[in-house]
């Protein structure tokens, strides 16, 4: 039986590992049933799109019954299309998503690293990473490079695979300890969708950690650690979802998602301080609603 002291030793080890690496994988943090409602939302989006394309005679089959990790690709493949965006946002906005973002098992890991006053930053993406797709293959970056004025605070990304992830289907890679050098300078390069660091963060002897993860594992990383997303060389889709958190009160000024940020854990209560209908109202009033697919 695990005692309180075993638990605090374990928590202390995880904190130390996170401080050293800038990221942490918690194995089997969630069960299949915790992820199932969001997977159902995504599957419904795919189904609706399939029927629209079928009705427009763009595809000859709706691919009903095809597995989650194949169907969206089969649909796009038949009409020689690709994802138009690197991630889905508005399309997957739902109570199921909110329940996952505020899931106690997720917030327990966040709390371990930043304490019990936690805000959700408003940033979330479901990523349908298609076979051989450049758009969803992100270069080496630190998240603060894409989030203005966040480099002096801690912003945590929770990344959850919705299918098992291996190097072959587009795992994430990390440079352990790379957060300690602070935010690097970035520039835009012709033909690249994302800004890249001016100085390459790797050399021939850099330690690169490839994170092979199972559905149910949870990855958490900070805004300064270098990471990238490999090309998906398999014939199936690497679905994942990610969202961001910080200590309540951390400035989110100039971040496009600030209007849908909300407190999700507070030390004085066991309830989530923001109920779903409040977040829904924030979303409905937010100027960026519908700005992203």
Ligand X SMILES: O=C(O)CCC(=O)C(=O)O
Does 117 contact ligand X by CB under 6 A? no
Query: Measured between alpha carbons, how far apart are the two ends of the chain, in Å?
Result: 47
Say how many residues make up the chain. Answer: 293
- Binding letters toward ligand X, positions 143-182, x by CB under 6 A: x-------------x-x-----------------------
160, 154, 146, 138: which is closest to 230 by C-alpha? 138
CB of 272 to ligand X, least distance (A): 23
Closer to ligand X at the Cβ: 129 or 257? Answer: 129
Does 227 contact ligand X by CB under 6 A? yes
Question: CA-to-CA distance for 284 and 278, rounded, in angstroms?
Answer: 10
Does 133 contact ligand X by CB under 6 A? no
Closer to ligand X at the Cβ: 138 or 213? Answer: 138
Does 127 contact ligand X by CB under 6 A? yes
Report the site for ligand X in 259-288 (rule: CB under 6 A).
none
On whether the CB atoms of residues 162 and 241 are closer than 8 A, the answer is yes
| Residue whose C-beta lies closest to ligand X | 229
CB of 35 to ligand X, least distance (A): 15
Size of the site for ligand X (CB under 6 A): 10
Estimate the share of the chain in helix, then strand, then coil, as percent rounded to the nearest 5.
30, 20, 45
Does 89 contact ligand X by CB under 6 A? no
Does 129 contact ligand X by CB under 6 A? yes
On whether the CB atoms of residues 159 and 222 are closer than 8 A, the answer is no
Residue from the set 102, 240, 250, 274 that interacts with ligand X by CB under 6 A: 240
Give the interface with ligand X as residue ranges (CB under 6 A).
127, 129, 138, 143, 157, 159, 227, 229, 240, 242
């Amino acid at each position: 039986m695990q005692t309180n002291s075993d638990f605090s030793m374990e928590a202390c080890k995880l904190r130390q590992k996170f401080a050293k690496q800038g990221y942490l994988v918690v194995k089997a943090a969630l069960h299949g049933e915790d992820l199932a409602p969001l997977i159902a939302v995504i599957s419904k989006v795919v189904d609706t799109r399939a029927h629209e394309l079928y009705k427009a005679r763009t595809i000859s089959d709706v691919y009903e019954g095809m597995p989650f990790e194949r169907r969206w690709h089969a649909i796009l493949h038949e009409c020689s299309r690709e994802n138009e965006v690197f991630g889905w946002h508005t399309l997957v906005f739902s109570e199921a998503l909110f329940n996952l973002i505020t899931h106690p098992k997720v917030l327990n890991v966040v709390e371990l690293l930043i304490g019990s006053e936690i805000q959700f930053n408003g940033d979330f993406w479901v990523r349908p990473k298609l076979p051989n797709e450049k758009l969803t293959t992100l270069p080496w970056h630190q998240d603060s490079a894409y989030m203005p004025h966040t480099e002096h605070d801690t912003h945590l990304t929770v990344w959850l695979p919705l299918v098992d992830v291996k190097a072959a289907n587009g795992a994430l890679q990390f440079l352990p300890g790379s957060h300690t050098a602070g935010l690097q300078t970035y520039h835009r390069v012709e033909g690249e969708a994302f800004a890249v660091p001016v100085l390459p963060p790797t050399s021939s002897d850099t330690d690169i950690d490839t994170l092979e993860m199972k559905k149910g594992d949870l990855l958490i990383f900070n805004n300064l650690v270098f990471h990238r997303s490999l090309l998906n060389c398999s014939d199936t889709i690497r679905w994942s979802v990610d969202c961001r958190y910080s200590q309540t009160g951390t400035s989110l000024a100039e971040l496009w998602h600030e209007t849908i940020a909300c407190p999700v854990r507070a030390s004085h209560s066991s309830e989530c301080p923001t109920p779903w209908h409040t977040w829904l109202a924030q979303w409905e009033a937010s100027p960026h609603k519908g700005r992203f697919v």
